[in-house]
Amino acid sequence: MPRTLITGGAGFLGSHLCDRFVAEGHDVVCVDNLVTGNPDNVAHLVGHPRFEFVRHDVSTFVYVAGDVDHVLHFASPASPIDYLRLPIQTLKVGSLGTHNALGLAKAKGARFLLASTSEVYGDPQVHPQPESYWGHVNPVGSRGVYDEAKRFAEAMTMAYHRSHGVDTRIVRIFNTYGPRMRLDDGRALPAFMGQALRGEPITVFGDGSQTRSFQYVDDLVEGIWRLLHSGETDPVNVGNPDEVSIKEFAEEVVALTGSSSTITYEPLPSDDPKVRQPDVTRAREVLGWAPTVGRAEGLRRTLDYFRERVEAA
């Protein structure tokens, strides 16, 4: 029975991966220091014979007894509000944490998968963004702590692949949403959902013309599963290319929730990308993957979760 270790496993994405791998018959070791992760995300798995939770900071040495077949490195603050609050921790988990996770994979002879991000493209000057694009990142800007941590993590992953023969995969994740996102994590969907459900004005930064491409979490998990079991060692974009402006996205949330909220505008944060859309040609060709959940359906699936969170607050 395969044994898979998932760092950041109590986070939004990591917990959905824990679900998938347990369902697929894997023994899962979930490692998380709970700085931004939430034990409630994996509480339903506690006590399952194929699930183990380990509270640990992967920026320090990582040791796990026994065999490990896969290491999925998903530990990192991932929303601007978190990595701006925790800049040094973000840099450490992207550098030291990646080094430690790769070292574990090397020692165990495990396949390694890195959770990278569309943020490696920065504020892109190529649109949509293919994996061949090197990006346009401000290394000393406030967002650089996350962007450069992930770019370094990719370089470290490829160094272990080339120098030590570690079997590696890199997924570049584009904006993803779904249940288990924190209401206060600062990203567009939870912010808009929370404000709309409370009847508060919805805050849009800039004039709202900047674009994003949102994918439902189930599509991402499927793409990651396929990438892990593929032979592709170069980075692969996984995202939904259905691009929308932030203003239109806010209006969709207002309509879905039936809210009376109005939209207000605040200054655009420093280095905020103006456009974001994945070129998923490689994912289609090498993984046979394409998103299946449209934004309207995904938002409907997510609404009840956020309504429960707002009512419980």
Q: Check: CB of residue 115 under 8 Å from CB of residue 13.
A: yes
216 phi/psi in degrees, rounded to 5: -75, 145
Answer yes or no: 146 catalytic.
yes
Q: Around Cβ 1, how many Cβ atoms within 10 Å?
A: 7
Phi and psi of 299, rounded to 5°? Answer: -65, -40
Please tell me the distance from the alpha carbon of residue 229 to that of residue 224, in angstroms, as a whole number: 9
Could you say which of 83, 121, 133, 146 is catalytic? Answer: 146
Buried b (16+ CB within 10 A) or exposed e, 242-256: ebbbbbebbbbbbeb
Rounded-to-integer distance, Cα 101 and Cα 74, Å = 10
Counting Cα atoms < 13 Å in the Cβ hemisphere of 290 gives 7
Positions marked catalytic: 146
